[in-house]
Structure 1
Amino acid sequence: MRRSRGRKVVIGILWGLVALLVLGVVGILVWSQVGVMAAEPEPLAAVRENPDIVVEDAPEGIVLSPADGAGDVGLVFIPGAKVDPWAYAAILQGIVAEDDVTVVITRPWLNLAFFDPRGLDAFTSAAPEVDAWAVGGHSLGGVRACQLAPDAEALVLFASYCSSDISASDVPVLSLAGSKDGLSTPEKIADARHLLPADADLVEIAGASHASFGDYGPQPGDGNPTIQDEQMHAEATDLLGRFADSLAP
């Protein structure tokens, strides 16, 4: 009788653990799909209408290619947590149209970069003709990009910082921050500076907030930007373009 009761207790505990696991998985699935910040329609429409860019919704991600053919440099870009990948098309279109950089914006699993275990080649396969690939990302996407940086020729951070130490690597780094960022604050980025190579280029854009690095509207907890979207896009294009030029074979 005691053994029978013991087995029933063990079975009950196991079923309880299974139920908790199922509830946890379902909870994560639901949470990852609720509150996703959508791309603003007007900036996205401008990208689609840009005659200098070819937009492809490919299996590897959203591919933005120069209309006159791919150049030597590409950028795999990882979105921030629960941000629509299309929200980054407008701020990245400048380097495609003006600097012939091919951009692949990924679609992270469950809208969260940490749940996406795919390597860099899962995205660079969208444009095999490109010779040199940088990896970058916004916010949590940038943290994931740091993990993929050893497989890339360069690293680009938008309002982000590394949690892994790449200071001993020779990977060129461009880190763009915002003076009005209420999430990846300038202080947080400064505190993580030691995890980057000594020659990393850190640029703080005056008046930019966390959401200034995409086109998806205000974000809870963020600061209030004082820079206009057009100026933000222009500054990002200039900085990214010069960085991309330095990577060309």
Structure 2
Amino acid sequence: MLLCLGALVVAAVVGVVVWTQVGVMAAEPEPLAAVRADERISITDDAAGIVLSPADGPSDTGLVFIPGAKVDPWAYAATLADVVAEDGVTVVITKPWLNLAFFDLRGLDAFTSLAPDVSTWIVGGHSLGGVRACQLAADADALALFASYCATDLAASDLAVVSLAGSEDGLSTPEKIADARHLLPADADMVEIDGASHASFGAYGPQAGDGTPTITDDEMAARIADELGAFVAQGLG
């Protein structure tokens, strides 16, 4: 009996591991190549994450960005490039264990340590990555949600929060984000980007169940940089 139970457990674990490796949404090659060629951005590829930093020197503010479920971390490089080049924010895109943020038990310092010159840290993420970011927010100076919402109650905290949603998001819909609004501080900055879908927050192509975007990738990257830049400029909310 114990032998059979052990075999079932092993089979289940192997099944989960295999599932996490199948269907990972890859970064689109052309947007990623453009980031690699951008002389305004310095890129460091570490086992824990990808560090995008301003090429003209270290920044005071950083963003630890947690990818959505089964999305290649590199898929967010193009979307966040303007945040680095225009806003001067260092971005650390994490590499979640098994491609799922919930399986990654590392603390925020596992990623902030990749950019030791940064003194002020925002933690954020896309979709499921944003849910995980809420769990790590107590160790950060601010929280930025990208097509996401919290399952953790942060309403009573004094955390600075910005939430970026998409009007055409078919997964983290505006309604779902509104339903979880009570879990954020009363002064959280809630922004809905007209024309943005769920996949507009990354450069990995269309996603099943999503809406149809009416905003271009370049427009989306610029809008995200504008909103994050304003958030930082206002003292993080």
TM-score of the superposed pair, with normalisation by structure 2: 0.98
CA shift, 1:130, in A, is: 0.6
Out of 4, 10, 26, the position equivalent to 1:38 is 26
Structure number with larger C-alpha Rg? 1
Aligned-partner SS, 1:99: coil
1:54 aligns with 2:42: yes
1:192-211 matches, cutoff 5 A: 192-211=180-199
CA shift, 1:175, in A, is: 0.4
Out of 169, 179, 183, the position equivalent to 1:181 is 169
Q: Does the aligned pair in 1 maintain the 2:124–2:146 contact within 8 Å?
A: yes
Out of 225, 228, 234, the position equivalent to 2:213 is 225
Q: Which runs of 5+ in 2 are unaligned?
A: none
Q: Which amino acid aligns with 1:63?
A: V
Q: Which shifted more, 58-67 or 119-128?
A: 58-67
Instruction: Please name the residue that 2:234 is paired with.
Output: 246
Q: Which runs of 5+ in 1 are unaligned?
A: 1-12
Instruction: Please name the residue that 2:113 is paired with.
Output: 125
CA distances 1:42-70 after superposition (whole Å, capped 9, x unpaired): 11011111111001102331000100111
Instruction: Please name the residue that 1:29 is paired with.
Output: 17
1:124-143 matches, cutoff 5 A: 124-143=112-131
Distance in 2 separating the partners of 1:16 and 1:167 = 47
Out of 107, 129, 144, the position equivalent to 1:156 is 144
CA shift, 1:15, in A, is: 1.4
RMSD: 0.9
Instruction: Please name the residue that 2:67 is paired with.
Output: 79
Q: Which shifted more, 119-128 or 59-68?
A: 59-68
CA distances 1:90-117 after superposition (whole Å, capped 9, x unpaired): 1111111112111000000000000000
Instruction: Please name the residue that 1:68 is paired with.
Output: 56
Q: Which amino acid aligns with 1:239?
A: E
Distance in 2 separating the partners of 1:70 and 1:156 = 21
Aligned-partner SS, 2:86: helix
Distance in 1 separating the partners of 2:89 and 2:20 = 31
Q: Which amino acid aligns with 2:59?
A: G
Q: Does the aligned pair in 2 maintain the 1:77–1:103 contact within 8 Å?
A: yes
Distance in 2 separating the partners of 1:14 and 1:35 = 33
TM-score of the superposed pair, with normalisation by structure 1: 0.93
Aligned-partner SS, 1:59: coil
